[in-house]
Structure 1
Amino acid sequence: MAKKSARSIIFSLVGIFLIALSTPSFAAKEPFDQWLSKLKVEARENGISQTTIDSAFANVTLIEKVVKLDRKQPETVQTFQEYMAQRLPQSLIDTGKTMLNQNRVLLEEVGRKYGVQPRFIVALWGVETRYGKYTGGFSVIDALTTLAYDNRRAAYFRKELLLALKILDEDHIQLADMKGSWAGAMGQSQFMPSSFVNFAVDFDADGRRDIWTTKADVFASAANYLSKSGWKDDQTWGREVQLPKDFDLSLVDLKIAKPMKEWEALGVTKIGGGPLPSRQLVGSLVQPKGGNGQTFLVYDNYRTILKWNRSTYFAMSVGHLADLIGDG
């Protein structure tokens, strides 16, 4: 009898353990149903129709994987060289040239309107989603609901979730098609809902800002983002440079900006020792973490790319891909 009782206790404990494993480890302080009821009220107060609210949350699901991904440390384990080799394979460069040529008329029209060189529009498209091939398979509503309920960055994701509902309410996308990354970044340009509201463009004038399937809207939205963030179409992003052996490394800082002649006076040259460009652009020196001292002189457009994604590796990959794509 005692053995049977012990066995039952063990099975019960195992059952509790398995249930715990299958339940998301959220940091929320109230039951989900109560939390969701309050969110629905807030959405209604923000002007979202009851029809949109009901359909969006009819089968909403909390996603454990999203919580785990959000908790991962952002530090990369790759060196800069490893990252660039992985993110910019020759196939991505070749496809970028093809995409630029195939869409040249549209890209040049968009580029003229927003003051952004087509190669940078294509480079962002390539780095973000491999030219629309990988846009994410998570339900944006489920992902944002999960992150808003989790409490770690609840205020930010609650705002994004309410904006996602607004996008649905305005019929820019159907609920079933509103897919994106685990963090809720959407479409071929990987816009968060706030970026969509602020920068997405209905370039083909069909009444919808479609960053999921309409290239005209995808290109124009990306260009509009860059333009409104300070892009300068008469400049590039930067270039790799060479430092003298006795160079003061405290000057390698994005906060320190100098014109070309001042960097040249300090011994900074092009790779191979050639002089820097004669145009007196103001630039800063950057050495990517894990880059073995590889150094770049970057300009204002580099800072603008960082507004899109606050990652040195990301900004470098966009700039390099744009250079490699060139004019197609």
Structure 2
Amino acid sequence: MSYGIKTMVVAFICFMLLGFSQIASADEFSAWLQGFRDEASAAGISADLLEEAFADLEPLERVIELDRRQPEFVQPFHEYLERRVTDARVAEGREMMARHAASLNRVAEQYGVQPRFIVALWGLESNYGRHTGSFSVIQSLATLAYEGRRGAFFRNELLHALKIVDAGHIPLARMTGSWAGAMGQAQFMPSTFSNFAVDGDGDGRIDIWHSIPDVFASAANYLSRHGWQDDQTWGRPVRLPRGFDADLAGLDKRARLSQWQQLGVRRLDGRALPTRDLQASLIIPEGVDGPAYLVYDNFRVLLRWNRSNVFAVSVGTLADLLAAP
């Protein structure tokens, strides 16, 4: 057999194998989807919605690519903070606090969460509502549930998403979000929506995509339900003495502010720490020669929102700048 013919044969075999693989994958997804439809139906999801949601539904390769890429990318702490807590974001956040002062104050009184933290979360999650994601939440979650790396988690989220649509909170076509299924201006996962989102404007629906009162009330309710204390802040940047023992840092260690004071820890400008003797942990994301923060219980609440120290520091830093004169 000549080289040219061999090449053609190999190419044909590869083509056939690829085609078979695609058909097999389509058959597998169809079978998976039918199993999920049975589960959703048993959970009370309407047949009409299931038909509409899953008509011609296919896995979205882009979602799988983004999911698999995540563990490979780690942004340095200082770069993450600088890119998210910008002068422009601070300026716009202050404008938003003034524009929505009445709504924010009502929410603060009802839920016990300072407005600056609600606005800081809003700014970091969706840039004050501008970037909420354009992926179909149903397609993204179905893709991730089928793909299997965290299949059980995303299967549960998909069921919650369908319940949200079935309850009339958002039309199916308008349920968009991030590639991972985070939704609306608060970027809630569907289960978070089910457990913590609330109707802030009193119209009988919960719309964290378009209703700013719903966004504010839902964010505040989440923080409040996880133990937020409105008589405290999140923490503060501090200065460490030369030769400080790095082994004292970590969220698993706590000491009172008076004890940190005795160890030589000071405010960033060199002044003494506050006299209110709160329990605090020290975090040093880039080692003892990098930025250091004493963080309080509210910081741990922010970690319930997003289990990332740098995210929680970013929220606290932005919130402090929003309140600065």
Whether the aligned pair in 2 keeps the contact of 1:120 and 1:319 (CA below 8 Å) is yes
Query: After superposition, where does 1:23-38 map in structure 2 within 5 Å?
Result: 31-38=28-35
SS in 1 for 2:217: helix
Query: What letter matches 1:106 in structure 2?
Result: S
Aligned to 1:187: 184
Quick one: which amino acid aligns to residue 88 of structure 1?
Answer: V
Which residue is 1:15 aligned to?
A: 15
Which residue does the alignment assign to 1:242?
A: 239
Partner of 2:262: 265
Partner Cα separation in structure 2 for residue 290 and residue 61 of structure 1: 46
- In structure 1, stretches of 5+ residues that fail to align are none
Q: CA offset at residue 85 of structure 1?
A: 1.4
Indicate whether 1:203 and 2:173 are aligned: no
1:54 and 1:315 map into 2 onto residues whose CA distance is 40
Partner of 2:309: 312
Counterparts of 1:100-249 in structure 2, within 5 Å, are 100-249=97-246
Matched, 1:62 2:68: no
Counterparts of 1:286 and 1:49, CA distance in 2: 49
What letter is aligned with 1:323? Answer: D
Equivalent position of 1:324 in the other structure: 321
Task: Give me the TM-score of the superposition, normalised by structure 1.
Answer: 0.93
Query: Aligned pair in 2 of structure 1 residues 321, 36: CA closer, same or farther (>3 Å)?
Result: same
**Any idea what SS the aligned residue of 2:71 has?**
coil
Cα 1:46–1:230 shift into 2, 3 Å: same
Aligned-partner Cα distance in 2 for 1:126–1:202: 20
The residue that corresponds to 1:6 in the other structure is: 6
Q: Secondary structure at the match of 1:74?
A: helix
Distance 1:99 1:105 in 2: 11
Q: What is aligned with 1:74?
A: 71
What is aligned with 1:85?
82
Once the two structures are aligned, what percentage of the paired residues are identical? 51
Aligned to 1:287: 284
| Aligned partner of residue 218 in structure 1, secondary structure | helix
What is the rounded CA distance, in whole Å, between the counterparts of 2:288 and 2:167 in structure 1?
A: 45
Q: Tell me the distance in 2 between the aligned counterparts of 1:291 and 1:191.
A: 34
Q: Which amino acid in the other structure matches residue 322 of structure 1?
A: A
- In the alignment, the residues of structure 1 paired with residue 311 and residue 288 of structure 2 have an alpha-carbon distance, to the nearest angstrom, of 14
Deviation for aligned residue 1:170: 0.3
- 1:33 deviates by 1.1
Query: Conserved in 2, the CA contact under 8 Å of 1:131 and 1:188?
Result: yes
Alignment TM-score, normalising by the size of structure 2: 0.94
Q: CA RMSD in A?
A: 2.3
Partner of 2:249: 252
SS of alignment partner, residue 72 of structure 1: helix
Instruction: Determine helix, strand or coil for the equivalent of 1:283.
Output: strand
Q: 1:151 and 1:95 mapped to 2: Cα distance? A: 40
Mapped to 2, the partners of 1:311 and 1:61 lie a distance apart of: 32
**Deviation sequence 1:42-78 (CA, Å, 0-9, x none):** 0011011111111111132211111122122436543
Deviation at 1:289, TM superposition (A): 4.2
Query: Do 1:79 and 1:291's aligned partners in 2 also have CA atoms closer than 8 Å?
Result: no
CA distance in 2 between counterparts of 1:326 and 1:244 reads 28
1:270–1:3 CA distance, 2 compared to 1 (3 A): closer
Q: Shift in Å at residue 7 of structure 1?
A: 3.8
Offset of residue 6 of structure 1: 2.0
How far apart, CA to CA, are the structure 2 residues paired with 1:11 and 1:4? 11
Q: Cα 1:73–1:177, aligned 2, differ >3 Å: closer, same or farther?
A: closer
Q: Distance in 2 between matches of 1:157 and 1:50?
A: 21
Q: Which has the higher contact order (CA 8 A, sep 6+)?
A: 1
Equivalent AA in structure 2 for residue 265 of structure 1: Q
1:50 maps to 2:47: yes
Matched pairs, number: 325
- Quick one: structure 1 residues 327 and 294, their matched pair in 2 at CA, closer, same or farther if it must change by over 3 Å? closer
* Mean CA deviation greater in 63-72 or 7-16: 7-16
Instruction: Give the counterpart letter for 1:114 in structure 2.
Output: Y
CA contact (8 A) 1:119 1:327 kept: no
The amino acid that maps onto 2:181 is G
**In the TM superposition, what is the alpha-carbon distance from 1:10 to its structure 2 partner?**
4.0
- CA shift at 1:9, angstroms? 1.4
Deviation of 1:4 (Å): 5.2
